[in-house]
Amino acid sequence: MLIAALGPLLAPLGATEYVGRPNTARVAGAILGTDHLGQDVWSRFLLGGRSILVIASVATAIGVLVGAATGALAAAHGGLVDQWIMRGVDVTLAVPPILLALVAMTTLGPEPWLITAAVALVTAPRVARVSYGAATVVVERDFVEVSDRIGETRWYVMTRDVLPNISGALLVEAGIRLTYAVAIVASLAFLGFTTGTNEANWAAMVQENRAAFAVQPWGVLVPTAAIVALTLGAGLITDGIARTTAGAASMGER
């Protein structure tokens, strides 16, 4: 994650600078050789993670916020509002995430905002389902009943009583969704849906250099390992935050 975030500051060359013959494993000044266009693999590796990390993180944040609010709203209202909201969530869950993202990309083009919106759209329903499950337990507790009896609004109950008490579950779910978001963004880039022409992107590097894997493996191995490490690292970091938050909440209750 640090390489994805800070790598562009350390790259010795630009993403499109020509340094030598294409698909060469050893070139002076290029420690990992060149790619299919004769560009520095090391520099493109350092430059290629930020777009994946930023888009996946922003999309996850939006999806978690929308999904958490949707699930909590359904649980807090109950009745027909609950049924209508959750049936809509179930319909959205029936659509494969990558298919929905591909339809958006082929229709409107691979714009950064569109990729972010598409990933957020497939993230929100899954978070809403988790949020709803956790919130239905909270709304049955005494302090929620007290809020109802004194005439507090549904918005107050949702934001002050429900959401703070399901934050631990939401943090865990956010970590899971972030790993999936990284996978979806990387899959779209591998299929050619990136935010710019010849943009340095780890998944795009794998797709571009796989034909020459036998003679120049670094153009494929390094970005592949980076995507795996980014996915695992994002999950571990968010899981650690969730555990710390849960521990602090437990100590507070004691």
What are the average pLDDT values for consecutive 10-residue runs of the chain, which has 254 residues? 90 88 84 91 93 93 93 83 86 83 80 88 91 86 79 75 82 87 91 80 93 92 94 82 64 48
The count of residues in the chain is 254
Q: What is the pLDDT at residue 203? A: 93
Amino acid at 197: T
Q: Which CATH number is associated with domain 50-199?
A: 1.10.3720.10
Q: Are 21 and 34 in contact (CB under 8 A)?
A: yes
Q: What is the pLDDT at residue 181? A: 92
Give the residue among 233, 234, 226 at the shortest CA–CA distance from 205. 226
Q: What is the pLDDT at residue 245? A: 67
Q: What is the pLDDT at residue 248? A: 56
Q: Where are the domains of the chain?
A: 50-199
Indicate the pTM of the whole model: 0.85
DSSP 39-71: BBHHHHHHHSSHHHHHHHHHHHHHHHHHHHHHH
Q: Are 49 and 202 in contact (CB under 8 A)?
A: yes
